[in-house]
Amino acid sequence: MPSSGGGAPLVVDFGQMQDAIAHMASYEREVTSCLEDIDRTMASLRQSWHGEASDAQAQAQAQWREGAEQMREALSQLQKIAQTARSNYSDAVTKNSEMWDD
């Protein structure tokens, strides 16, 4: 069995990797939906809410939204990395099996 560099064998659980990828995708959809709901609610509220408090809330929401978008983008990148890793490990297992079957 291949070593992970520390002497311990490297074990990849494809099911767990796929579950993590699916969980990331689900969470990304939930975050996107939540952001859309907040935007709709705040847009409706701002129609009747004016003054300094409204302006301060709009600025705070813009900063929060920017941070949430950065988090969503990072999660999306992590999901792509995990998908690539899963594919690479799967391909390696297939190639190794083919070598031993010949």
DSSP label at residue 3:
B
Asked if residue 78 lies in contact with residue 6, where contact means CB atoms within 8 angstroms, the answer is: no
Q: Where are the domains of the chain?
A: 56-91
Helix 52-101 crosses helix 14-46 at what angle (to 10 degrees)? 160
| Model pTM above 0.85 | no
Element (H, E) at 68: helix 52-101
* 67-83 pLDDT, tens digit each: 988 998 999 999 999 99
89: closest CA among 81, 78, 79? Answer: 81
Tell me the mean pLDDT in the region 35-39. 91
Sole residue written with tokens 């003054």: 51
Q: What is the pLDDT of residue 2?
A: 52
Residue 11: HSE in the Cβ half-sphere, 13 Å Cα cutoff: 5
